[in-house]
A and B are shown apart, each in its own frame.
Chain A
Amino acid sequence: MDHTGTVLIPEHDPNLSKDQVIQCYKNMLFLHTMDGILYDAQRQGRISFYMTHYGEEAMIGSAAALSPEDVVFGQYREAFMLVHRGFTLDEFLSQCFSNELDLGKGRQMPVHYGSKRLNFQTISSPLGTQIPQAAGAAYALKMSGTNACTLCFFGEGAASEGDFHAGLNMAATLKCPVVFFCRNNGYAISTPSSEQYKGDGIASRGIGYGMDTIRVDGNDIWAIYNATKTAREMAIKEQRPVLIEAMTYRIGHHSTSDDSTKYRDRKEVEERAKFDNPITRLRRYMELKDWWTQEEEDDYRKQIKKDILKSFSAAEKRKKPAIKHLFTDVYDELTPNLIQQQKELEELIKKYPEYYNLDEFASN
Chain B
Amino acid sequence: MLSSLNKTAKVITPVLRRSYATTQQVNDGIQQGVAYSQLLKRKPEDSFRSPELAHMSAINSETRKMNLFQAVNDAMLLALTTDEKAVVFGEDVSFGGVFRATSGLAEQFGRDRVFNTPLTEQGIAGFAVGMASVGHTAIAEIQFADYIFPAFDQIVNEAAKFRYRSGNQFNVGGLTIRSPSSAVGHGGHYHSQSPEAFFTHCPGLKIVTPRSPIQAKGLLLASIRDRNPIIFFEPKILYRAAVEEVPVADYELPLGKAEVLKKGNDVTVLGYGSQIYVLENAIQLAEKKMPGLSCELIDLRTIMPWDVETVVQSVKKTGRLVIAHEAPKNAGVAAEIATTVMEHCFLNLEAPIQRVCGWDTPFPLVFEKLYVPSMIRCFDAIKTAVNY
Chain A interface residues (CB < 8 Å from chain B): 71, 73, 102-105, 107-108, 112, 114-116, 121-122, 124, 126, 129, 131-141, 143-144, 150, 162-163, 165-167, 169-170, 173-174, 325, 328-332, 335-337
Contact = CB atoms under 8 A, between A and B. Distances in A.
B154 A132 contact: yes
A90 B30 CA distance: 71
Interface in B176-228: 203-204, 206, 227-228
A72 to B, nearest CB: 12
A294 B182 CA distance: 71
Interface string B119-135: 01011011111111111
B123 A107 contact: no
B305 interface: yes
Nearest to B174: A140
Contacts of B228: 331-332
A5 to B, nearest CB: 39
A144 B256 CA distance: 32
A126 B167 contact: no
B168 A336 contact: no
Interface stretch (B100-108, B156-164, B317-325): B156-164
B126 A166 contact: yes
B28 interface: no
B339 to A, nearest CB: 13
Given A133-B130, A328-B168, 15 more contacts: A104-B169, A107-B164, A122-B162, A124-B158, A129-B154, A135-B130, A137-B133, A138-B130, A163-B123, A163-B153, A169-B120, A173-B117, A174-B115, A332-B163, A336-B308
B164 to A, nearest CB: 5
Contacts of B308: 336-337
Contact of A329 (B85, B118, B164): B164
A146 to B, nearest CB: 9
A332 B130 contact: no
B87 to A, nearest CB: 7
B120 A165 contact: yes
Nearest to A165: B120
Given A114-B170, A335-B256, A129 B126 contact: yes
A179 to B, nearest CB: 14
Contacts of B118: 166, 169-170, 173
B169 A122 contact: yes
Contacts of A144: 85, 136
6 contacts: A104-B167, A136-B133, A137-B131, A140-B135, A165-B120, A332-B173
Contacts of B123: 132, 135, 163, 165-167, 169-170
Contacts of B171: 332
Nearest to A129: B158
B116 to A, nearest CB: 9
B167 A102 contact: yes
A200 to B, nearest CB: 24
A103 B164 CA distance: 11
Size range of the interface on B?
35 or more
Contacts of A162: 122, 150
Nearest to B86: A143
A136 B256 contact: no
A329 B167 contact: yes
Pairs A-B, 8 closest by C-beta atoms: A136-B130, A132-B126, A166-B123, A133-B130, A136-B127, A122-B166, A105-B167, A137-B130
Given A162-B150, A166-B123, A335-B256, A330 B158 contact: no
By CB atoms of chain B within 10 A, which of A141, A167, A170 has the most? A170
A206 to B, nearest CB: 16
A61 to B, nearest CB: 25
B204 A331 contact: yes
Contacts, number: 157
A328 B117 CA distance: 34
A41 to B, nearest CB: 22
Contacts of B168: 105, 328-329
Contacts of B138: 136
Contacts of A163: 122-123, 126, 153-154
Interface in B82-106: 85, 87
A135 B158 contact: no
A71 B161 CA distance: 19
Contacts of A329: 163-164, 167-168
A147 B313 CA distance: 55
Nearest to A134: B130
B305 A140 contact: no
A144 to B, nearest CB: 8
A163 B158 CA distance: 12
A132 B122 CA distance: 8
Contacts of B227: 332
A104 B166 contact: yes
Contact of A104 (B132, B150, B165): B165
Nearest to B166: A122
A126 B162 CA distance: 12
A150 B309 CA distance: 45
A71 B134 contact: yes
Chain A CB within 10 A, most for which of B138, B165, B171: B165
Given A129-B126, A129-B153, A332-B228, A103 B133 contact: no
B167 A131 contact: no
Contacts of A122: 162, 165-167, 169-170
Contacts of A131: 126
Contacts of A126: 153, 157-158
Nearest to A119: B134
Given A71-B134, A141-B134, A135 B127 contact: yes
A135 B128 CA distance: 9
A333 B117 CA distance: 32
A332 B227 CA distance: 6
